[in-house]
Structure 1
């Protein structure tokens, strides 16, 4: 399978990057769109992207201000990012899709599902944030630090922290304020799509009680835990995450496929 094709896409007044892979044999399955979290990029979604691309057209987005994309002049809201996601996929001719978000990407994905309910049939929220019972920046930073020290692999830490450096502190902290204020528990109740809340069983950022609560608040929600991993579950347990997404959304792949290469 060839690597994804990078496209520069401007939508909703902002510029980002979309990485696209076509599934072998055409478009029989609904496409899937992968959304990163704060400070990150498509890079920590590469393993999952490659695996999903064996079954369906797969798109990973670098949102405006992240990865190698231009920094917007003003801070973007969660709704702004959602409009970019929807506009970018519309430009690429993708009307309906499965939306998968990680960490703050779960906020962007939820908001996109609210803005265009007819376009998002399934929503996967991996490591969702922010639990209001731990609603301070210090509490979130401590949880993230504990995750990096005890539950992540060296490769996941390397990808995440080099992306943080690329993002830069100014844009990171502007976006952090937006992340801390978004009421995910309230917004998820209005989503009509089926929702899978997924977490690594050791994740201190999205703990079991918070994740279970979110799944219960959704109109059609369920919870899945992936054993033996932390917050960046899609990198450290990409195969299990792929299988869970395919089981949740319908199309099935051969369980136990070898992971096709590692991200740089």
Structure 2
């Protein structure tokens, strides 16, 4: 089957495709990025999953980087989930494995809670943000994580943040903090499909206790850890994360 390698735009969202071309209603994986970023830092994982035969789609959420013009202002978490739903339905995708990192986990939780028929399984990588933790402390955790990440990731993130813009980033951060305090865990409790919560062993953003707590909220949740990785384990250890996802897809415990 033809392999997708170039980006394209549907429902206002710039999207990268990897692996076999997605057939309407066919099996697929959707990777959802974190705050202020684009899908670029998911490319190593997307390529590894595609090498295993998966059809992988990586959209830039509205207001971010190559989908920046899709929103006039920074959307809230619920608005991002709604935009992802419209994109998903326009592509006529079947039930998807949703893989998200950081604040993207909040978007996926809202999406899965509202549209369970569109979700096969959920993978949460380094989920953020933890309720009850101040915005200042959350920023401190992110800064502490930076020296633990590969230089390549820092370059990608810095460029993406500049394109998204500091004002939009700040507004998006406020939206995400509000969602974490009011909605995130409630949305997770509504998810009935199997969920895998993954953290890097050196992640300063998503603690071991927090990830275990989230896995316990989901009806069928489990946890896994990637040794030697930090918050963006999917970038620094794509093979290890892909192995966990592939085992999870066939019912393994990760």
Query: In the alignment, is residue 59 of structure 1 matched against residue 60 of structure 2?
Result: no
Structure 1 unmatched runs, 5+: 253-264
- 2:155 equivalent in structure 1: 158
The alpha-carbon distance between structure 1 residues 47 and 53, as it changes in their structure 2 partners (threshold 3 A), is same
- 2:106 equivalent in structure 1: 107
* SS of corresponding position for 2:117: coil
- Equivalent residue for 2:44, pick from 42, 47, 53: 47
4+ residue runs of structure 1 moved beyond 3 angstroms? 24-29
Query: Are 2:4 and 2:21, in contact at CA under 8 Å, matched by a contact in 1?
Result: no
Deviates more, 1:151-160 or 1:222-231: 151-160
In the alignment, the residues of structure 2 paired with residue 62 and residue 251 of structure 1 have an alpha-carbon distance, to the nearest angstrom, of: 29
The alpha-carbon distance between structure 1 residues 180 and 74, as it changes in their structure 2 partners (threshold 3 A), is same
Deviates more, 1:81-90 or 1:65-74: 65-74
- 1:74 equivalent in structure 2: 73
- 1:1-264 aligned within 5 A: 4-10=5-11, 15-23=12-20, 30-54=27-51, 55-69=53-67, 70=69, 72-133=71-132, 135-149=133-147, 151-182=148-179, 183-250=183-250
In the TM superposition, what is the alpha-carbon distance from 1:83 to its structure 2 partner?
1.5
TM normalised by structure 1 equals: 0.87
Query: Are 1:28 and 1:56, in contact at CA under 8 Å, matched by a contact in 2?
Result: no
1:142-182, CA deviations, whole angstroms, 9 ceiling, x for partnerless residues? 11111002x11111111112111111101101100111111
* SS of corresponding position for 1:114: helix
Query: Are 1:147 and 1:230, in contact at CA under 8 Å, matched by a contact in 2?
Result: yes
In the TM superposition, what is the alpha-carbon distance from 1:251 to its structure 2 partner?
8.8
Query: Are 1:29 and 1:56, in contact at CA under 8 Å, matched by a contact in 2?
Result: no
* SS of corresponding position for 2:231: coil
Larger % of helix: which?
2
In the TM superposition, what is the alpha-carbon distance from 1:91 to its structure 2 partner?
1.2
Structure 2 unmatched runs, 5+: none
1:66-110, CA deviations, whole angstroms, 9 ceiling, x for partnerless residues? 122215123312121111112112211212111011001101111
Query: Are 1:40 and 1:160, in contact at CA under 8 Å, matched by a contact in 2?
Result: yes
In the alignment, the residues of structure 1 paired with residue 97 and residue 31 of structure 2 have an alpha-carbon distance, to the nearest angstrom, of: 9
Query: Are 1:124 and 1:196, in contact at CA under 8 Å, matched by a contact in 2?
Result: yes
In the TM superposition, what is the alpha-carbon distance from 1:23 to its structure 2 partner?
2.6
Corresponding pairs, count: 246
